[in-house]
Amino acid sequence: MFRMTKRGVVIRLIGYPVALGLAVGLLWFVSIRMPGESFAGALPPLTAVQDSLAARLRAHVEMLAGRIGERNASRPAALDSAAAYIVTSLIGYGYSVTEQRFVARGATYRNFEATLPGTTHSSEIIVVGGHYDTVEGTPGADDNASGTAAVLELARLLRDQPRQRTIKLVAFANEEPPFFFTDDMGSRHYARAGRQRGDDIVAMLSIETIGFYADSAGSQRYPPILGWFYPNRGNFIAIVGNIGSRWLVHRVIRDFRAFAPFPTAGSAAPRQIPGISWSDQWSFWKEGYAAVMITDTAPFRNASYHELSDRPSTLHYGHMARVVQALASTVANLASMPRKGMGD
């Protein structure tokens, strides 16, 4: 029978804490450490522009999650109504809308794209997208009428911004089950088609559940271990990506923090960690593109996630307005800076 010597026991007792310390240090350096500082303290009053933006965001969410409601494969008429609203809104902002049709499980679904052509680097593309479908059994105010509303308002805010790169604003179908993490996701069709065409997508931002905030202690939860490093109040917006998109996570959070006095948290972590890959950014990672998710962290904060109670009245439109306004400046900056500086 094997017997460990006293020396072996001592080495093992010392080795475990050292190994744990090294692992935690590596996690901090690679995944947790972010450029800049998150805003802390009382938020400034909303500006008149932010007040107006909050009202516009509320109107979009109330249409999608209130008047239209649940919208998915089991309710195709509602999904079509949401699609019509998105197209009408974008056309109203002066866009020509491109429709990408695809077949999944015997039915036809549609992604919608509005394009802002770049000037000096038009072949380089920034994609900003969010899904407009819901999981069965919920009107989907936070998930993801909030993200769809943000894409619509970003289209309006970015319309007259100078840009060197092309910006594509996209509403995706079929992010939710039964299509989730399959080739039938709308974003999967979109990203795969982009790769087949040879599109130079330099960055993708997935806008996913950005409307729910809570100030009480303990209102924010995390996957195991990550809670050691992040606040326990769900009053921030998160920017997350996989390890391959670490440079983009850093770029986006650095710019966001420069443009907005609003709490932020970031993580560039292995995609196997729960939550990191839970939206349309996954589809772009599959094609080798850098992509991040902008999120309120969904089920780690919002008890109404995927529930009938995910209604427009539960969202904080003032906070959404702060986030969307900062994202507009962030995207405009991404579309204008030299490529060699994007990862700085």
- Reading the chain (344 residues) residue by residue, the pLDDT tens digits are 445 565 655 555 565 455 545 555 656 556 788 999 999 999 999 999 999 999 999 999 999 999 999 999 999 999 999 999 999 999 999 999 999 999 999 999 999 999 999 999 999 999 999 999 999 999 999 999 999 999 999 999 999 999 999 999 999 999 999 999 999 999 999 999 999 999 999 999 999 999 999 999 999 999 888 888 999 999 999 999 999 999 999 999 999 999 999 999 999 999 889 999 999 999 999 999 999 999 999 999 999 999 999 999 999 999 999 999 999 999 999 999 877 767 76
pLDDT at 43: 96
- Of the CA atoms within 13 Å of residue 344, those in its CB half-sphere come to 8
Distance CA 268, CA 273 (A): 10
Distance CA 172, CA 220 (A): 28
**Domain assignment of residue 81, given as a range:** 34-341
pLDDT at 20: 44
* Residue 317 within a domain: yes
pLDDT at 1: 44
* Residue 6 within a domain: no
* Residue 5 within a domain: no
Distance CA 268, CA 242 (A): 5
pLDDT at 48: 98
Order across the sheet with 291-295: list the strands.
97-104, 107-116, 165-172, 121-131, 200-208, 291-295, 237-241, 264-268
Q: Which helix (H) or strand (E) holds 116?
A: strand 107-116
* Residue 230 within a domain: yes
CATH of the domain at 190: 3.40.630.10
- Structurally, the chain folds into a number of domains equal to 1
Kindly report the pTM of this predicted structure. Answer: 0.91
Q: How far is CA 304 from CA 57, 143, 275, in A?
A: 19, 9, 16
- Residues 296 and 142: beta-carbon distance below 8 Å: yes
DSSP sequence for 181-222:
TSTTSHHHHHHHHHHHHT-EEEEEEEEE-------STT----
Peptide bond just before 312 cis, omega within 30 deg? no
* Residue 129 within a domain: yes
